[in-house]
Amino acid sequence: MIAIRAEKLGKQYRIGLPSVRYQTLRENLGERLAAPVRRLRSNANEYGKIWALRDVSFEVQQGQVLGVIGRNGAGKSTLLKLLSRVTYPTEGTAQIHGRVGSLLEVGTGFHPELTGRENIYLNGAILGMKRHEIERKFDEIVAFAEVEKFIDTPVKRYSSGMYLRLAFAVAAHLEPEILVVDEVLAVGDAEFQRKCLGKMSDVAQQGRTVLFVSHNMSAILRLTEETLVIEKGRLALRAPTPQAVDYYLSRGFSQEGEHVWAEDEISPEAAPFRPIRIRILNPQGQVADTVRSVEPITIEIEYNLAAPVVGLRVGIYLLSTRGEYIFTSFDTDEPEQFERMATRPAGHYISRCTIPADFLNEGRYVVAVNASSFRVKRYFQDDQALSFNVDATGAPGMHWPEPRLGPVRPRLEWKIEAIK
Amino acid sequence: MMERQDTSITIIRPENNWLALNLADLWRYRELVYFMAWRDIVVRYKQTLLGAGWAILRPFLTMVVFSIFFGELAKVPSEGVPYPIFTYTALLPWELFATALSVASRSLVQNSHMITKVYFPRLILPLAAILAGVVDFLIAFVILIVMMAYYGIVPTSAVWTLPLFLLLTLITSLGVGLWLSALNVLYRDVGYVTPFLTQFWLFITPIAYGASLVPEQWRFLYALNPMVGVVNGFRWALLGIQTAAPDSQLIMSVVVSLILLVSGLFYFRRMERLFADMV
């Protein structure tokens, strides 16, 4: 039996116009008056419109757990929003058999002034649960979230961990026929993530249809049998998950030690930040896809600032190809540097860092780039800007031909003392 | 879970079948109306010092000011009943209407984080805003009962019609509220227009004065304002003011009110699909 059938789904958004979001009446009138003139001047009457998703067709069988992967901005979230009826397609149709529960976020509608108990009811109702369903599940939800003692405390007094646990707990106890989940597991500490994943696989085993979007390849591999790969708004591949993950990794990461950002990879919201390229350099200063673990590795991010930015930090996340974080580092991590660059003037920059020798283990690594002002704005993020290979020749312990566990391979100074 | 054997089929498609109001979905989510209204009330009472006191203070203080300036100083006639109760009876449905307008007009924009993340019939937001106003109305109504006892006014035998006039208030509020909330998503000007609109509307509604002050030849035009029918109805049913008794003009008010509601519903439904992309 089919649970979801999507046929040629497409969604178009307007971008780059002041009227992307709400307008004032004046703007609308002005635009209407100016539109015929503009149309005469430029023959592109679809200016400023992009297809976030186009021509996507697929079927999901009842009880199937389907993964969805793709780079940031590829259209994954748009697909989930369409299927959960938050937004409507520009073209195409989708048929959905059964009640859909969507988890595009946890804790939607949580109000800080309300107590944990009150928020469980409210959030449950927003997610489409009936009152008696919530009552029946109440104790289970509280136990899962481990907030028994604070259930009558306003959630504004909760720690962020407690808040997340409660929010996820409500969502996890939804019992729709079809569950649509987006990246909710990207939050919380490792232990909580494990718990969420456990709950997810329980859900999957109960025979419910699940659509699961994630950047976490190990989670995708663990939970799903089949996966859709979405690239630039189109369905690039549907295959058994291991195959889809391989395809995705090979596509995203075949960038030869350098990635030059094309115009269409940059959201207009990145302005005034304009990324140009990122490169991996070996100690000889050559761009390299494979570097040696025993040598320092230099990472360069080149960008333009069209206007001065206050508190800007440009940095990297280093990840394994499974999507697990290894470290985070920003160019203004040093307090003195941060003071000096309190306002970064407009101009052309390279932010450069060096990963010391004898740090990374052998394997393939992914560099994600982030440019943001803390708690103000995230100008730009590319979760898979680049990947590179580390070769461990000459690294400690190479005389044993075995793979070493863990992403780092430091050269530690061991002393062996004989005690009499 | 085997709760829902009859698996519902949802079809998602671009063309907007805006004749379908999709009331079945609204019915399925009816509990959410209650929860959202309850949230609004609980949060307001937790965040404000006086809490429920505001529901009483606003109409009460307005009544005091009106009684001094219009009743005592301007000697506005009050059809044989004491001026304070004359104006307070009108202020009750008026406050409900005015509050509903301002809260409903903001309801979509203020809950934009929910609209962009979860599906539910969007109609629930203005509905809940209005429902929350009814609670305030009931609280303020207690004062009216106290005042009636104080002035020794016995409600007329027509008091049973009061729920109907309350219903007319709610229909009018919802009709206007739907228009304003949907327009507010597209044009933030609505945020500035609403207070002005409410103030303007206050003057064209017989709150501080009696509808009988309006010259005969203008009555028809006057009755195009559904709140005229509401206020007259309240005064007639509670205080027995005969000049306010229901007549052909009430039908006018009801018709206008229903037109507002139905057009509001369709406009809201038509725009609903854009909300998540616009807010």
A84 in the same domain as A173: yes
pLDDT of the residue at A38: 46
pLDDT of the residue at B3: 41
For chain B, the C-alpha Rg in angstroms (whole number) is 20
What one-character DSSP code corresponds to residue B48? S
**Mutate which of B107, B119, B124 to test chain A, going by most A C-beta atoms within 10 A?**
B119
A265 in the same domain as A238: no
Task: Measure A394 CA to nearest chain B CA, in Å.
Answer: 51
**Of residues B1, B11, B189, nearest to A93 (C-beta):** B11
**Chain B residues within 8 A of A22 when measuring between CB atoms:** 185-188, 278-279
**Chain B residues within 8 A of A154 when measuring between CB atoms:** 46
Supply the range of the domain harboring residue A314: 258-391
Contact B118 A104 (CB under 8 A): yes
Q: Is A408 in contact with A359 (CB distance < 8 Å)?
A: yes
Using CA coordinates, name the residue in chain B closest to A20.
B278
Read off the pLDDT of residues A157-203 as tens digits, 9 standing for 90 and up.
988 778 888 888 888 888 888 888 886 655 556 677 777 777 777 87
Contact B279 A22 (CB under 8 A): yes
pLDDT of the residue at A32: 56
Q: Is B208 in contact with B65 (CB distance < 8 Å)?
A: no
Q: Please report, rounded to a whole number, the percentage of residues in chain A having pLDDT higher than 70.
A: 87
Q: Are strands A297-305 and A273-281 parallel, antiparallel or unpaired?
A: antiparallel
pLDDT band at A12 (very low <50, low <70, confident <90, very high): confident
Contact A92 B14 (CB under 8 A): yes
pLDDT of the residue at A30: 58
Tell which residue, A404, A394, A312, A300, has the closest CA to residue A355.
A300
Comparing A146 with B97, which gets the higher pLDDT?
B97
Task: Measure B279 CA to nearest chain A CA, in Å.
Answer: 6
**What distance lies between CA A352 and its chain's CA centroid?**
24
Task: Measure A200 CA to nearest chain B CA, in Å.
Answer: 16
User: Does A40 fall in a domain?
Assistant: no
Q: Is B116 in contact with B110 (CB distance < 8 Å)?
A: no
Can you say whether residue A44 is alpha, beta or left, with left for phi > 0 and alpha for psi between -120 and 50 degrees?
A: beta
A205 in the same domain as A281: no
pLDDT of the residue at B2: 39
CATH number at residue A113: 3.40.50.300
pLDDT of the residue at B215: 86
pTM, full prediction: 0.72
What tokens appear for A253 in the block?
Answer: 């990461």
Read off the pLDDT of residues A256-289 as tens digits, 9 standing for 90 and up.
788 888 887 888 888 899 999 999 998 888 888 8
CA distances from B80 to A76, A195, A220, B67, B153 (A): 69, 72, 78, 14, 12
**Mutate which of A86, A130, A174, A179 to test chain B, going by most B C-beta atoms within 10 A?**
A86
Can you say whether residue A98 is alpha, beta or left, with left for phi > 0 and alpha for psi between -120 and 50 degrees?
A: left
* Distance separating alpha carbons of residues A78 and A56, to the nearest angstrom: 11
Q: Is A49 in contact with A243 (CB distance < 8 Å)?
A: no
* Distance separating alpha carbons of residues A196 and A200, to the nearest angstrom: 6
A315 in the same domain as A372: yes
Task: Measure A177 CA to nearest chain B CA, in Å.
Answer: 8
A150 in the same domain as A276: no
Task: Measure A102 CA to nearest chain B CA, in Å.
Answer: 7
Q: Name every residue whose Cβ is closer than 8 Å to that of residue A342 and which is 6 or more positions away in sequence.
A: A310, A311
Tell which residue, A258, A345, A262, has the closest CA to residue A304.
A345
User: Does A413 fall in a domain?
Assistant: no
pLDDT band at A19 (very low <50, low <70, confident <90, very high): very low
**Chain A residues within 8 A of B39 when measuring between CB atoms:** 111, 114, 118, 122
Is residue A96 over pLDDT 60? yes
Using CA coordinates, name the residue in chain B closest to A208.
B1
pLDDT of the residue at A34: 54
Neighbours of A287 (CB within 10 A): 13
A108 in the same domain as A230: yes
A385 in the same domain as A352: yes
At B19, the amino acid letter reads: L
Is residue A89 over pLDDT 50? yes
**Chain A residues within 8 A of B24 when measuring between CB atoms:** none
Contact A85 B117 (CB under 8 A): no
A185 in the same domain as A333: no
Quick check: helix, strand or coil at residue B117? coil
**Of residues A22, A86, A98, nearest to B119 (C-beta):** A86
**Of residues B7, B12, B116, nearest to A98 (C-beta):** B7
Q: Is A124 in contact with A110 (CB distance < 8 Å)?
A: no
* Distance separating alpha carbons of residues B124 and B107, to the nearest angstrom: 9
Quick check: helix, strand or coil at residue B12? strand
Comparing B270 with A334, which gets the higher pLDDT?
A334
Contact B118 A125 (CB under 8 A): no
Contact A84 B118 (CB under 8 A): yes
A195 in the same domain as A304: no
The stretch A145-167 carries a mean pLDDT of 87
Using CA coordinates, name the residue in chain A closest to B184.
A22
Comparing A126 with A28, which gets the higher pLDDT?
A126
Comparing A395 with A20, which gets the higher pLDDT?
A395
**Chain A residues within 8 A of B111 when measuring between CB atoms:** 109
What tokens appear for B138 in the block?
Answer: 């009931």
Neighbours of A356 (CB within 10 A): 10
Find tokens 């000049």 and name the residue: B243
Q: What is the SS3 assignment for chain A?
A: CEEEEEEEEEEEEECCCHHHCCECHHHHHHHHHHHHHHHHHCCCCCCCEEEEEEEEEEEEECCCEEEEEECCCCCHHHHHHHHCCCCCCCEEEEEEECCEEEECCCCCCCCCCCEHHHHHHHHHHHCCCCHHHHHHHHHHHHHHHCCHHHCCCEHHHCCHHHHHHHHHHHHHCCCCCEEEEECHHHCCCHHHHHHHHHHHHHHHHCCCEEEEECCCHHHHHHHCCEEEEEECCEEEEEEEHHHHHHHHHHHHHCCCCEEECCHHHCCHHHCCEEEEEEEEECCCCCECCEEECCCCEEEEEEEEECCCEECEEEEEEEEECCCCEEEEEECCCCHHHHHHCCEECCEEEEEEEEECCCCECCEEEEEEEEEEECCCEEEEEEEEEEEEEEECCCCCCCCCCCCCCCCECCCCCCCCCCCC
Q: Is B182 in contact with B271 (CB distance < 8 Å)?
A: yes
pLDDT of the residue at B247: 83
pLDDT band at A22 (very low <50, low <70, confident <90, very high): low
**Mutate which of A14, A51, A88 to test chain B, going by most B C-beta atoms within 10 A?**
A88
Quick check: helix, strand or coil at residue B35? helix
Q: How many CB pairs under 8 A join A and B?
A: 124
**Chain B residues within 8 A of A126 when measuring between CB atoms:** 32, 35, 114, 118, 120
**Of residues A83, A86, A175, nearest to B118 (C-beta):** A86
**Chain A residues within 8 A of B43 when measuring between CB atoms:** 111, 113-114
Neighbours of B110 (CB within 10 A): 16
* Distance separating alpha carbons of residues A210 and B145, to the nearest angstrom: 56
Is residue A76 over pLDDT 50? yes
Contact A88 B273 (CB under 8 A): yes
Q: Is A332 in contact with A352 (CB distance < 8 Å)?
A: no
Number of separate domains in chain A: 2
pLDDT of the residue at A185: 59
Using CA coordinates, name the residue in chain B closest to A182.
B117
**Mutate which of B106, B116, B277, B279 to test chain A, going by most A C-beta atoms within 10 A?**
B277
Domain boundaries, chain B: 23-173+185-262
A352 in the same domain as A238: no
Q: Is B178 in contact with B268 (CB distance < 8 Å)?
A: yes
* Distance separating alpha carbons of residues A75 and A343, to the nearest angstrom: 34
pLDDT of the residue at B181: 93
**Of residues B118, B276, B277, nearest to A127 (C-beta):** B118
Contact B189 A24 (CB under 8 A): yes
In which element (H, E) is residue B199 found? helix B190-203
Contact A113 B46 (CB under 8 A): yes
A282 in the same domain as A240: no
Q: Is the peptide bond before A410 cis (omega within 30 degrees of 0)?
A: no
Tell which residue, B221, B190, B46, B35, has the closest CA to residue B125.
B35
ipTM of the complex: 0.82
* Distance separating alpha carbons of residues B131 and B125, to the nearest angstrom: 10
CATH number at residue A358: 2.70.50.60
Using CA coordinates, name the residue in chain B closest to A10.
B14
Is residue A17 over pLDDT 70? no
For B153-169, b/e burial (b = at least 16 CB within 10 A) is beebeeeebbeebbebb
**Of residues A25, A97, A102, nearest to B189 (C-beta):** A25
Which segment of A105-109, A297-301, A403-407, B152-156 scores lowest on mean pLDDT?
A105-109
A350 in the same domain as A207: no
Mean pLDDT for each 10-residue chunk of chain B (279 residues)?
A: 54 67 81 90 80 84 92 85 92 94 91 87 92 91 92 87 94 95 88 91 91 84 91 91 82 93 91 79
Using CA coordinates, name the residue in chain A closest to B188.
A24
